[in-house]
Chain A
């Protein structure tokens, strides 16, 4: 399988109160296309930071970071935004839907950055929402949906542009057990049926079991360990 994420000697630190706090160091990681990777580790271990770096919403201090064939550390903010729109689908813990837009409009949002016509957008959105089992909830606002349903909308939004990778930060962290299982099953389907590469940060061992492989981080250093 072709590698979709290639990380070498990556380091990241934050400045906090005049002090430099290292968050990640000496990270070497390769993720193959179509893989489903779980990132685990205690709080503060740097797993969300690593996910943010892979997703192109944060920048490393040093090292190389190639995602979908592009060294994203060299991109400008504007180019990085375009790159994210084409290559990354986001699934957040708290869904991050626009409360004033319906499920349909939320899913359609990333397509506004493409050149698709209104009719084409409608077709894509309808297909995506039906795929996540919300074909009958298209005109509902987020406040009218359960947590599990909102996360399904978020997954539909994440896949709508057919991105190279899906990044999920604690996707089941705000859900009850049943909804969490449904979401994980849905993510498995996205991986199996659509061949999406998924990188998921989680605390939950049950959620991590769904991943093909698990990478563990501790104090900013990647540990060995496979699922």
Chain B
């Protein structure tokens, strides 16, 4: 009881110093959490990938399309349940800064992605309308899209102004589902391409392949690629997760930098905290000597110092973690659809708490060691 009382009262002894240290910790823990969430958001596509989905693309590059007739051949491979074509559209909505992913998708696409939850009536309306589109909830909220709205997109790969009608809004099955995308009929794209830009007709960016058994992913991938071996357009088939990580890898240097900065922030606050605890312990040298003279051992002194340091760190951690959520929400809204999924994960919160406790414990290490080792007569000399 006395010990806890002493720890609390000691922590609040220099209110300004403790307050400033806590503020520093809050900023560090908050920044760390935010940066970790940015890294997580980068990997969100890979995290949301299903093990029973494969992506088949041109082996040369994603920029080189595949012929449409590959679809039927892929479908014939043993273990393949469904195949859907998908083309990256890259249209501009009003202004180039309004970026969001747009895909022309084949009929089987939404059955392969059951995590996109579309009301039945809306899906039927989408199927009936050649120029219909389905948009994600986050995208709809960002630009105020509602069912029935007309959305014009200026094509960059497929020139001209394309007009779509929003026929449905999908929700994610969970918080990790990307709801920032815009889908429309691949047939609409292809038919228009046939008349306006015949060289782009009957060309597919990727095939999304649903397989019956996720354990056979490697085997089925090999079989698909074997079908097109030595053809003018050889394929590369990989799991959806590997495909998404391939994208992330292209920007890995940025991710590494973000991670380094996040841990640098923790290191800086560690230095600040260690300085605070060192000053504190130096000022209380006489008190520690008095306690030792009265018969208290090194364990008691160490508990006092570690307790105080961990208490300050815990206060900073709790406030920092609590603030991370609204700040992450604000950051996500400011970023628009740049980060389709921007959620502070449980792992991030655990990591924040662990970092704070590690800072608290490390900062107390040397002051505690010094307090334990101080000779009573030397410590008592410091008083007066």
Residue positions of A touching B, CB distance < 8 A: 52, 55, 57-58, 78, 81-82, 84-86, 90, 92-94, 96, 98-101, 105, 108-110, 112-113, 157
Contacts and interface: CB of A to CB of B under 8 A. Distances in A.
A216 to B, nearest CB: 22
B2 A112 contact: yes
Contact of B296 (A52, A58, A81, A99): A81
B380 A58 contact: no
B232 interface: no
Contact of A113 (B5, B296, B380): B296
B157 interface: no
B13 A84 contact: no
Contact of B295 (A52, A93, A98, A113): A113
B294 A52 contact: no
14 contacts: A52-B377, A55-B293, A57-B293, A57-B376, A78-B297, A84-B293, A96-B290, A98-B287, A98-B290, A99-B13, A100-B9, A101-B6, A105-B2, A105-B5
Contacts of B5: 101, 105
Nearest to B294: A110
A53 to B, nearest CB: 10
A91 B376 CA distance: 14
Interface size class of B (residues with CB under 8 A): 20 to 34
B295 A101 contact: no
Contacts of A98: 6, 287, 290
Given A98-B6, A101-B9, A90 B287 contact: no
B290 A92 contact: yes
A120 to B, nearest CB: 15
Interface in B342-384: 375-377, 380, 383-384
A85 B291 CA distance: 10
A109 B294 CA distance: 9
Given A92-B290, A93-B384, A94-B383, A85 B295 contact: yes
B294 A58 contact: no
Interface in B1-53: 2, 5-6, 9-10, 13
B340 interface: no
Interface of B: 2, 5-6, 9-10, 13, 286-287, 290-297, 375-377, 380, 383-384
B13 A96 contact: no
A96 B2 contact: no
A49 B5 CA distance: 34
Given A58-B376, A96-B286, A90 B6 contact: no
Contact of A81 (B2, B13, B290, B292): B292
Nearest to A52: B377
Contacts of A108: 2
Contacts of B293: 55, 57, 84, 90
A81 B295 contact: yes
Nearest to B7: A100
A157 B293 CA distance: 12
Contacts of A96: 286-287, 290, 380, 383
A98 B5 CA distance: 12
Contacts of B295: 81-82, 84-86, 110, 113
A92 B384 CA distance: 10
Contacts of A81: 292, 295-297
Contacts of B375: 58
Contacts of B297: 78, 81
Contacts of B384: 93-94
B6 A57 contact: no
Contact of A100 (B10, B290, B292): B10
Given A52-B377, A58-B377, A112-B2, A92 B294 contact: no
User: A-B pairs with the 8 shortest C-beta distances?
Assistant: A85-B295, A100-B9, A57-B376, A96-B290, A81-B295, A84-B295, A94-B383, A58-B377
Given A81-B297, A85-B294, A92 B2 contact: no
A55 B2 CA distance: 25
B378 to A, nearest CB: 10
Nearest to B379: A57
Nearest to A111: B2
A110 B292 CA distance: 11
Nearest to A98: B287
Contacts of A110: 294-295
Residue picked from A81, A84, A85, A105, most chain B C-beta under 10 Å: A81
B56 to A, nearest CB: 70
Contacts of B377: 52, 57-58
A86 B295 CA distance: 8
Contacts of B380: 57, 92, 96
Contacts of A105: 2, 5
A14 to B, nearest CB: 10
A84 B289 CA distance: 13
Given A52-B377, A57-B377, A100 B13 contact: yes
Nearest to B381: A48
